[in-house]
């Protein structure tokens, strides 16, 4: 019993060291809404938000659940207005053209969904793109 307990503890102690995750962002193939190196190009009347840690779709349903209820989300597109790409950690939100996006509310819903938004790209009806940082403040294309 003692020997096995010691082995079990040893396994647990050593394993997390072995599994420490590198902090790199995934730089895989671009999805339809994104480009390599993490820049997104939303279509007109859409917002794309980079959300750290969205790698499990079963776990990220909370994002869709929380975001799809927002009044400015166009639920006729995607799945109730939301598309989650776990390959790129990007969440696309279809927007109603006649209602203003409340990005602070989007960020708040994402946090209550269990994740942290890190950057957002918002395209207006003309396709002009504005970029926002993790706090929701406007920033240039080089913002983190």
Partner 1 sequence: MRLRLFVIGICIWSPVSALAHQPVMDMAPRWQDGYGFQIRHEYYGSASLRSRGDRIANPLGRERFVHKTWLEGVYTFDRAKRITFKLPYIDQMRVKDIGGAGVRQDESGLGDLIIGVPLKRYRNKGANTSNWGITPSIRLPTGKSGGDFPISDGSVDLGLSVSYSAEGYPIPGLPRFKLYQLYDLYYWHNRKGARGMNEGDEVGLDVNIGIHPFHDDQSNTGVFLMWDVSVRAIEAPNAATLTTASGGERIHTGPIIVVYKNNIMFRAEYKFPVYQKTYGVSNARGDEFSVGIGVAF
Binding site for partner 1 (CB under 8 A): 1, 4-5, 7-12, 14-16, 18-29, 31, 51-59, 61-63, 65-66, 79, 83-87, 89, 112-116
Residues in contact with 10: Cβ distance below 8 Å, sequence separation at least 6, in sequence order: none
Nearer to partner 1, 53 or 136 (CB): 53
Residue position matching structure tokens 């009347």: 45
The answer to whether 120 touches 143, Cβ cutoff 8 Å, is no
Cβ 101 to partner 1, closest distance in Å?
21
The DSSP result for 17-32, as a single string, is HHHPPP-PPP--S--T
CB of 29 to partner 1, least distance (A): 7
Least separation, in Å, of the C-beta of 126 and partner 1? Answer: 27
Cβ proximity to partner 1: between 50 and 101 the closer is 50
Q: Shortest gap between Cβ of 71 and partner 1 (angstroms)?
A: 19
Nearer to partner 1, 14 or 125 (CB): 14
Strand, coil or helix: 122: strand
Nearer to partner 1, 25 or 99 (CB): 25
Closest by alpha carbon to 61, among 98, 28, 91, 33? Answer: 91
Contact 90, 51 (CB under 8 A): yes
């Amino acid at each position: 019993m003692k020997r096995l307990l010691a082995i079990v503890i040893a396994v647990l102690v050593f394993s997390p060291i072995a599994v420490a995750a590198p902090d790199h962002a995934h730089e895989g193939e671009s999805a339809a809404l994104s480009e390599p190196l993490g820049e997104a190009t939303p279509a007109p009347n859409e917002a794309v938000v980079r959300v750290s840690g969205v790698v499990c779709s079963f776990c990220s349903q909370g994002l869709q659940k929380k975001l799809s209820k927002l009044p400015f989300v166009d639920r006729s597109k995607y799945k109730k207005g939301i598309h989650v790409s776990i390959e790129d950690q990007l969440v696309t939100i279809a927007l109603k053209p006649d209602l203003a996006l409340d990005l602070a509310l989007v960020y708040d819903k994402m946090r209550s969904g269990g994740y942290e938004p890190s950057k957002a790209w918002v395209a207006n009806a003309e396709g002009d793109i504005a970029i926002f940082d993790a706090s929701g403040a406007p920033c240039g294309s080089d913002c983190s």
